[in-house]
Amino acid sequence: MANEAYTLALKDTLDGMTQTFPNIKNALFFNESGDIIAMDDKTSEESAVHTVDALDEILDRTDILGSFENVALEGAEGWLNVSRFDDLFLVTTVPSKADLERATAFADVLVPTVLKVLRRVNLAPVKENLEELEVEHEEPSTHFTEEKITESLDQTRIEKRSEESAPETTSKPVMREPQVNQFIVENLGGMFSSSDTVRIDNDLLLKWKEMYDDREIEEVKITTFGGKSVRCKVKPVKNAKLEGKGSVQIHEKTQSTLQIKKGELVRVTPIIE
């Protein structure tokens, strides 16, 4: 599978970096959504998730948006560096500033070369649902007898007559109209902020799921009082200070498209499909 080969190639790259520069204590790749793509053998999944979550919170507070190329942070035990390569982010931790400069210079040469090769051989990440792409098609049995075919046809006729005689009110469940909510616009910053995604209270997302036959609400429609609208992906807010405040976090690019700004009111409607 392309995705597995892509991930394995990135992991081999990280392992090669840590072997070339033993002072690199940890190394990992994650994407714009904050999903961890690969990590070296010395990094545990738990520490990788903790690092990415902490980075998102730190950079959100400092109002550094997703357009940055490189960020270095000094901690109690050394330096942490985040470098952006197209849609991927590389995180490395080293004990000193000198190690950081050497590791960063090496990564700036190695990583673009690896990504270029992967794309050349069509090992780009696959975003579609792999489960849907890998459905096995079962071949029809060659031992299906004429008697079984006749029996199946008779059963189909019985089921069809039953469906036709059933009341119409029981065949089509009533679906509620999408609920419209008003929210106050808040800025959406942070390293993983995407212009096609907004964030609202998780309580409301759970309420919508309950209202609409346990459907996951993955998209919403943002409408301004000036009549402009845009369709966005939706995720829960991460900032605890904004929970229960009736706010929606919107990226500055989307705010510009809608010609709105922080503090204004917008309507948010769940997309039910």
Average pLDDT, the chain: 77
- Sequence-distant (6+) residues with CB within 8 A of 212 are 175, 176, 270, 272
Judging by beta carbons within 10 Å of its beta carbon (0-12, 13-18, 19+), is residue 24 exposed, middle or buried?
buried
Q: Which residues pair with 71 in a beta bridge?
A: 82
Q: Can you give the pLDDT at residue 179? A: 64
Q: Is 3.40.605.10 the CATH classification of the domain at 2-120?
A: no
Sign of CA pseudo-dihedral 211, 132, 6, 84: negative
Supply the pLDDT for residue 74: 83
* Residue (of 231, 233, 266) closest to 248 by Cα position: 266
Q: Cite the beta strand spans of 26-135 per DSSP E.
A: 26-31, 36-39, 70-75, 78-85, 88-94
Give the pLDDT of residue 260: 92
Question: Cα–Cα distance between 82 and 28 in angstroms, integer?
Answer: 10
pLDDT on residue 60? 64
Q: Phi/psi class of residue 78: alpha, beta or left (left: φ > 0; alpha: ψ in -120 to 50)? A: left
Query: What is the C-alpha to C-alpha distance for residues 267 and 273, in angstroms, rounded to an integer?
Result: 19
Task: Judge whether 70 and 53 are in contact, CB under 8 Å.
Answer: no
Same fold, 2-120 and 181-270: no
Q: Give me the architecture of the 181-270 domain, per CATH.
A: Beta Barrel (2.40)
- pLDDT band at residue 68 under the 50/70/90 scheme: low
The pLDDT-based confidence of 178 (bands split at 50, 70, 90) is low
User: Where along the chain do its domains lie?
Assistant: 2-120, 181-270
Q: What is the pLDDT of residues 5-48, one digit of tens each?
A: 888 889 988 988 888 888 898 999 988 777 888 999 988 888 88
Contacts for 28 with CB less than 8 Å, ≥ 6 apart: 14, 36, 38, 39, 40, 43, 48, 51, 52, 90, 91
For residues 104-126, give the mean pLDDT.
80
Average the pLDDT over 183-206 and give the result: 83
* CA 203 centroid distance within chain: 19
Give the model's confidence band at 123: pLDDT under 50 very low, under 70 low, under 90 confident, else very high: low
Mean pLDDT over 49-77 rounds to 71
Q: What is the mean pLDDT of residues 61-81?
A: 72
Asked whether 125 and 37 are in contact (CB, 8 A), the reply is yes
CA-angle at 11, arms to 6 and 12, nearest 5°: 100
Cβ atoms 17, 105 nearer than 8 A:
no
pLDDT band of 259, cuts 50, 70, 90: very high
pLDDT of 143 reads 45
- Residue whose token pair is 């499909």: 273
d(CA 163, CA 257): 49
